[in-house]
Structure 1
């Protein structure tokens, strides 16, 4: 799992601090997130029937302080709706993740049966304190109990319900012993137009009056005021004293002395893989954005908890190697066998491992605009369980031959002993200098212009491996998020290689001279930054080599621009405008653009709603162009974004995928078409059929598409006569009378002065009004958008 994904599981501050230090905002495959795990202490009982007593009981196993019966009672007390489900299992263990946390928990399984189908889910309770740690109610259960009342709670009302729930869920929680996390948090989730409205509130809890990065809570509240989900992050380790040995004044003085900034090319959509996005110039913290140990005032590595030393920070060391530079392939596109040969030429594939998967796919974060061979090797004859043995994966550009990643995953079952050394595991141990030389040579040999564009920035020392991190520079300026990573095991083998080299000269600003000087930028940062005393969390994750980094807590002075946040410095200073911008891009940046051309428009309310939900995206001039005629492709994009506002950023596909003759994976309409096909809102795909996304949309064509969304195609077939369109003067001009009739009856496409006008073209404003009306039908028809289920 990548850094990008894993850090979402951690607290935002730890993620941003580590990203700022290591320039791994997008991915760093060497650091694995949660994986399925089990231990020898597992105690499980399961039920196949209705007899709950055979599942939960009053026995308290060794290592626990509560029974499974107490755990289930605590869950049902908080979520009485779960009484509608059946308890199916009770499992006492470390929570199902690797590395396991420092506490044990009860995992209570629930099931819902309807006819011959069933589904299962689980909730977690701390086995020591009895505190409920996680519950997420499935839509199948929520939909059945959904009230028919039209009134919905407001966001402000939902927030009050969430805060009240915190006091109920966390025993002995003192008044104001938590802080709501700001909406400026970069991972804030945007509400979609379609689907159940659900608000998520995030809280940082306090320990002895200080914000604690290890104590978090997330509460989901739906539009009916029901708590639909809850999760709680906690830690068993003892907290250090809340009294620092050194003062805040001393900390600020030390921080100011060490703090520095550097100019960088930054993508405005750091989470996105959009093709051709432009970069801007900004100043970001160079290396001193980490918290300071409150007792020593030395910077803390948020990954290991150790003090950051000059030995680990390489100060942008130029690359000098003894190998030939990378030369891209200039011949035909590589096949799978040629891609495998490139991997074997540059990395060791242990004896017994066979290539068992190869697929040509569209690249993602490391190669968003490329065709990539995805390869994997495994050894199914290994002595241990296959799922807990090492396997190997790699990605190779099918055109240039550039290797984007190589990973040896060590999936060793917790509680078991690693397989003894074989031919593939040497007893030798390389020095740091030898490991660095190997890492540098690997970077030069595999990445384009690595010796000119990359510098060694950081070395992460672990017991089993060293990870070397490289930053990319163009025109002498840092390219944020472009990076190389090489992990060298203690025996000298490379267990991981990762390259993200995405920025091109065409994407960079033509003028590399910023309007704001370095001195002014640094002064602005220091003026804005304050240090707050808080508990900083570190560790708590696993490496791909099977090594676990333990979790811990330190008392620290944390740099921030807000006294109500311990997220660290996750904003950068625009080098030309002087504005603060999100360091990692903004999932909702498009929806926050203020339109310039909708004020006073008859459809202003609907247009505003579409912008707020991310359905419409303003152009570079901030225009929506409400009276522009839309195409079928425009409608597909609007409809898909109504389901998933972040569709444009994340939706990928296979390079050779061709759902329609005129829709390939490179089409600007591909993500939307794939989304709608998944929803069965476009019928089935047909590679020999044209979808004609460039054609302008008429009202009658829109009516047909609306009926398909509503699953009323067959019903529409019963309406074929002009009399089925009463009071419509131009009924004879309508071909699809059933679709038009139903669209009229449901109020989706009202008549215009007594006529339907089937050939009239649909504008952006009219599309906004139709989508708004369609959203109001959610849950009011038999087949469209019941709760969060998309049909």
Structure 2
């Protein structure tokens, strides 16, 4: 039987499409995940052949050559709590030219609607940089595909959602991501979306849709709306900005960082277009909904930090999760330690089994403080497995919800609770699940930390259903005194303020209720925004600004250089001063190689003074310390066998050594006597580098220059950019052939 684990740590955030609510408020509501219920298939269910036929109808160009034996069907179907639509999963795996093509697809309902799809090609070279299709061509492919699966519905591309997941790692294929929103009467429906990803070679890589099944939905009539200008004027008259910290995520480095921002403090989502009332998570209101003032939950730690062991964590997990299982069986499936965001984490995975069905999750602890990071109580969902009738429980009063949530955070975060404020907005209530969502925002230097909070979900039965805390370790916080005046930020905000009409059901407590017409505020045409309080500029929170906007020209390596610069692999502060033909230092070359070929994260957890530095001149305070330690760990550098001066320029023969080590071919390169090269300047190659140079040149990583290798010539930024593309192709090819990991 297949085990199912729900990753609570990646809980779905109940964000409205409106970013002023999502970003401005620390009240980003954390909603319970959809809990998958697994059910064993029987002979009367859908067959593998039916799923294969359906897939080939949708993507004939991709799967026409696949045989039935290339597919495997999951022995379990699944549905979700509160959603009885049955899903069937089909996996595929096919060897082509000794390379594996694989993926999966999920079909939903009696009509086997395509719900999700993922495709990993066997030969990725055509999809890798620079790719065979442009972003515009990929969009046309995505739009053409949408016509196949839209089923007569009107979908429009959502230009407000940036394609920020497109890879910038050279060893992986380029992917262009597009979001399509279903429209009714020309108005986009917020929660009806289909995400389509197109590979750089034009193949569909993935699909995921959140469309509300086949049920005919009700929509509010457009006959008696206020005008968009009336909505804009009302938004402008009620703008209230507040200085906050904003935690953002650098998609190139994988590191969180903090900005000082101005955000609207209102908790409204928008303006109801037919009643002219404010539209909120809790419904409609005449008055502008605002947050309460910050008030710390505690003035000091309630308990000192107390590290826990793996066994202690397992015992706590049992107490939290092993509720009365009734006919079911409770099992702890695994317990292990890991590192995340600089923290030592203990994870406990568990599951419930009733008959032929099962579901589960995991609980995470901070090993060094003993505090809980995330937890979900799924014991009440056992009734969905055993078909028990759930008695209707009346809605719990707000004051009781807040008291229960407060006691929970005192129990789960006693040593750090003084860093958090009491809730600044009312709990969000989900009537369908009977749960209240309460958020305790973090406070730093007297300001809300947007994106870091404690979240508690309380059921109408008075039980804590889930708990989650962000887990960031951030040392650098901007000084609030560096912010521009609020009046200036407000003026900038008002000048850029506009609006967009959407259909929304957020805040509707009745799932059968019609979608409402709502004007949501936009800034510079974007729904995701804040004002950088230090520069005064309006920023899209989902665009990784800075280097990804830079562009240079070069006669031979323009595409390669711009790709690496925009990815952050080559750091450029001033384009006008950047010389791509200048020699690159060993430190910069090493950083570029790591950032180009891997998602560069170096976790310095447990890097204590007991662990020797790889090189004496690169201590933990050195800006290249993480780069050097990572390069040493994967074998590019050899501590103890060589020195490393980050400020020296790197030569072509030295670069060949790094390339060959990266490919894991050093042992072959060390047998220099077996290589007979015909370069005009072969005698200038250092004896210890001869094998590396021969392999690097033969594999096309470094090309000859008028029959010369020029081993002692210094490598330029442009040289490295061109060579590293070829290195990426080799790595990807070996990885697909299972020769490189």
Which bin holds the TM-score, normalised by the shorter protein? 0.7 to 0.9
Distance 2:736 2:20 in 1: 41
Displacement of 1:385: 6.2
Match of 1:457 among 424, 433, 439: 424
For the 8 Å contact 1:396–1:405, the answer to whether it is kept is no
- Are residue 164 (structure 1) and residue 147 (structure 2) matched? no
- Are residue 325 (structure 1) and residue 301 (structure 2) matched? yes
Judged with a 3 Å threshold, the aligned counterparts in structure 2 of structure 1 residues 737 and 413 are, in CA distance, closer, same or farther, namely farther
Distance 1:408 1:559 in 2: 35
Distance 1:420 1:689 in 2: 68
* 3-state SS in 1 of match to 2:80: coil
2:530 equivalent in structure 1: 572
Displacement of 1:489: 4.2
For the 8 Å contact 1:198–1:223, the answer to whether it is kept is yes
Distance 2:272 2:557 in 1: 55
- Are residue 374 (structure 1) and residue 346 (structure 2) matched? yes
Match of 1:733 among 661, 667, 686: 686
Distance 2:149 2:583 in 1: 51
1:594 equivalent in structure 2: 550
1:533 equivalent in structure 2: 501
Distance 1:264 1:476 in 2: 9
Displacement of 1:481: 1.5
2:190 equivalent in structure 1: 213
Distance 1:415 1:656 in 2: 46
- Are residue 510 (structure 1) and residue 479 (structure 2) matched? yes
- Are residue 474 (structure 1) and residue 444 (structure 2) matched? yes
Judged with a 3 Å threshold, the aligned counterparts in structure 2 of structure 1 residues 397 and 258 are, in CA distance, closer, same or farther, namely farther
Displacement of 1:343: 6.0
Displacement of 1:234: 1.7
1:75 equivalent in structure 2: 58
Displacement of 1:246: 4.3
Distance 2:90 2:314 in 1: 48
Unaligned runs of 5+ in 2: 1-5
1:63 equivalent in structure 2: none
What TM-score does the superposition give when structure 2 sets the normalisation length? Answer: 0.76
* 3-state SS in 2 of match to 1:394: strand
Distance 1:616 1:415 in 2: 53
For the 8 Å contact 1:92–1:106, the answer to whether it is kept is no
For the 8 Å contact 1:471–1:484, the answer to whether it is kept is yes
The superposition leaves residues 552-584 of structure 1 with CA deviations (integer Å, 9 ceiling, x where unpaired) of 76222232427977xxx320012342211133x
Match of 1:630 among 563, 571, 585: 585
Displacement of 1:290: 0.8
Distance 2:355 2:252 in 1: 37
Judged with a 3 Å threshold, the aligned counterparts in structure 2 of structure 1 residues 286 and 788 are, in CA distance, closer, same or farther, namely farther
Judged with a 3 Å threshold, the aligned counterparts in structure 2 of structure 1 residues 377 and 742 are, in CA distance, closer, same or farther, namely closer
Displacement of 1:107: 5.0
* 3-state SS in 2 of match to 1:561: strand
* 3-state SS in 1 of match to 2:423: strand
For the 8 Å contact 2:483–2:533, the answer to whether it is kept is yes
Displacement of 1:224: 3.4
For the 8 Å contact 2:597–2:728, the answer to whether it is kept is no
Distance 2:595 2:420 in 1: 38
For the 8 Å contact 2:420–2:440, the answer to whether it is kept is no
* 3-state SS in 2 of match to 1:326: coil
1:204 equivalent in structure 2: 181
Match of 1:155 among 135, 151, 162: 135
For the 8 Å contact 2:734–2:740, the answer to whether it is kept is yes
* 3-state SS in 1 of match to 2:196: strand
Judged with a 3 Å threshold, the aligned counterparts in structure 2 of structure 1 residues 21 and 493 are, in CA distance, closer, same or farther, namely farther
2:3 equivalent in structure 1: none
Task: Report the RMSD for the aligned CA atoms in angstroms.
Answer: 5.4
Distance 1:433 1:484 in 2: 18
For the 8 Å contact 2:259–2:478, the answer to whether it is kept is yes
Displacement of 1:355: 7.8
* 3-state SS in 2 of match to 1:20: helix
Displacement of 1:93: 9.8
- Are residue 334 (structure 1) and residue 307 (structure 2) matched? yes
1:543 equivalent in structure 2: none
1:557 equivalent in structure 2: 518
Displacement of 1:336: 0.8
Counterparts of residues 149-548 of structure 1 (less than 5 Å): 152-172=132-152, 177-182=154-159, 185=162, 187-236=164-213, 237-244=215-222, 246-249=224-227, 251-252=231-232, 255-256=235-236, 259-269=239-249, 277=257, 279-301=258-280, 306-307=283-284, 315-316=292-293, 318-319=295-296, 325-329=301-305, 334-336=307-309, 340=313, 359-364=336-341, 369=342, 371-376=343-348, 378=350, 384=354, 388=358, 393-398=363-368, 400-410=369-379, 412=381, 415-417=384-386, 432-443=398-409, 446=413, 450=417, 454-458=421-425, 459-462=427-430, 464-500=434-470, 502=472, 507-512=476-481, 514-518=483-487, 520-538=488-506
Displacement of 1:656: 6.9
Judged with a 3 Å threshold, the aligned counterparts in structure 2 of structure 1 residues 232 and 335 are, in CA distance, closer, same or farther, namely closer
For the 8 Å contact 2:320–2:377, the answer to whether it is kept is no
* 3-state SS in 1 of match to 2:166: coil
Distance 1:282 1:373 in 2: 31
For the 8 Å contact 1:123–1:134, the answer to whether it is kept is yes
For the 8 Å contact 1:45–1:91, the answer to whether it is kept is no
The superposition leaves residues 229-277 of structure 1 with CA deviations (integer Å, 9 ceiling, x where unpaired) of 4444421343323523642336555545555322112245377997794
For the 8 Å contact 2:564–2:721, the answer to whether it is kept is yes
- Are residue 615 (structure 1) and residue 615 (structure 2) matched? no
Judged with a 3 Å threshold, the aligned counterparts in structure 2 of structure 1 residues 726 and 551 are, in CA distance, closer, same or farther, namely farther
Judged with a 3 Å threshold, the aligned counterparts in structure 2 of structure 1 residues 654 and 211 are, in CA distance, closer, same or farther, namely same
For the 8 Å contact 1:240–1:553, the answer to whether it is kept is yes
Judged with a 3 Å threshold, the aligned counterparts in structure 2 of structure 1 residues 641 and 525 are, in CA distance, closer, same or farther, namely same
What TM-score does the superposition give when structure 1 sets the normalisation length? Answer: 0.72
